[in-house]
Amino acid sequence: MKLNGLFIAATLFMTTASGCKSKTASDLVVNKWHLYQMSGKDAEGIPDSVKTKMYKEASIEFTNDGKYQTIGMGEGTKNGAYNFSLDGKQIITTEDGGMPDSVSIVELRATKLTVQDSKADVQVSFKPH
């Protein structure tokens, strides 16, 4: 997938409490994120034992070269590419050899990433490793 969306997302600026320019969404997402919270109707059906295991093991890492890797999200380790939608409100991922998928960004700051699944009633939150 082309990285044009990633560079376009660089125009999306967030402001700090002091009103100065802050990092862009593409800067903020580059990190290794650890899953710590799930909510929504579809999350309610996940057994607590599975959630506990996911909270201990699940992570996603976004790198500055447009790649990502997930670990412990139920299907082993997965790799792929990511970018942002033109409006900067979605992260679009394409698993190696797969089709594009997207999640809506609910919150993205240096200390928290929360996304809403586009196909299910699940909202997941991550914190930096």
The label of the residue with tokens 């929504």 reads 40
Q: What is the pLDDT of residues 73-109, one digit of tens each?
A: 777 899 999 999 999 999 999 999 999 999 999 999 9
pLDDT score for 76:
84
Q: What is the mean pLDDT of residues 6-26?
A: 47
pLDDT above 60 for 4: no
Q: Coil, helix or strand for 85?
A: coil
pLDDT score for 8:
36
How do the domains of the chain map onto residue ranges? 4-128
Q: What is the pLDDT of residues 30-83, one digit of tens each?
A: 999 999 999 999 999 999 999 999 999 999 999 999 999 999 877 789 999 999
Which CATH number is associated with domain 4-128? 2.40.128.280
Triad 67, 70, 76: Cα angle to 5°: 135
- Helices within the chain (DSSP H only): 4-9, 25-29, 41-44, 48-57
Distance CA 60, CA 73 (A): 9
Is the pTM value of this prediction over 0.85? no
